[in-house]
Structure 1
């Protein structure tokens, strides 16, 4: 929580922008790193129970054995967890990266996951064909490019506008969706959310020509057709 009135009084817009630009190369997590730097020395740290990030496998089979003194804090907080935060802290540490269920929090995660899957099946229409709206030959070119430069490229239908998703070059998440061109005609296009991809490949040079919607109904902009092919060919050549 932030004392907004105190924050505004202490930090002018000009000072914040100046600090941001002067330390931009050192900012790792953008807003989080900047906030940490801004509030350094004025923070109150909540107990681990409000952001507990380790599983019982780590606690019982590593921490207690290898770091018995430090592990006592985790043992204490483990008994009163308020927020279990899943993060990738080691090999196969996320719930979906290993077969066994390691604690009741992972069990709860999978129970919620199954409820959401059932809801999705009931709510949304069947998966669309990847070959829709665009010229079949051009659409096939785009799909081939996506499959070549994306890992885990697969069909999805979480939203009515979803067609497929993948991880571009193993780093940047992208979505292949149905939507509209600048004239309101139906098209397939790609949305690239990751600001790092936009920065690394200077995607602002390519004018967006595709619009779709997200889960809240807000507009998302991306590319389709020749522009999209040009972007992927450029990325493939400059990776």
Structure 2
């Protein structure tokens, strides 16, 4: 993939690196290698813009940051977007380019893990190659891996979906945490259906208000 292949998501037209080869997508400057597009995300504890110079020194092909970012003076293009998290999710989806044909997601305060697992089991009993992704990790034919996040970050998620598709998985269910939805981790996933279990008062350590959680 070249930088120009991310046109429509990133404002790459007219940049000097329009034809630069893209070797990966990352929001972690420590994972940047030559050709990787670095997304400078604003987090709760740190601003990714502070790591832009480090990413550039490691060979980033471009830096993506929010409009109004103070990033300047780098030897690589700095691409300004309205929503860096959305741009990251869509760029990861386009870069990896594959997912199981049928994807469903379930959200809610509790019950997500069970619903995702039950859905996978129903598909399996129907003779379909199915997987589930969530708190208990990844369960798929020949694969059972423990995970640390209910909803993986967009890069890890789309890498995983591409691996599942390449392994012949046609149906996948996944948990969609409120954190993941708020951080746009699923925005690049093509979903056939979504489910909602219930709404309680958990996760208020992350959401500033009940309305924000809703």
Under TM normalisation by the shorter chain, which class is it?
Answer: under 0.3
From the two aligned structures, give the one with the greater helix fraction.
1
From the two aligned structures, give the one with the greater strand fraction.
2
Larger-gyration structure (1/2)? 1
Normalising by structure 2, we get a TM-score of: 0.24
Q: RCO greater where, 1 or 2, for CA within 8 Å and sep 6 or more?
A: 2
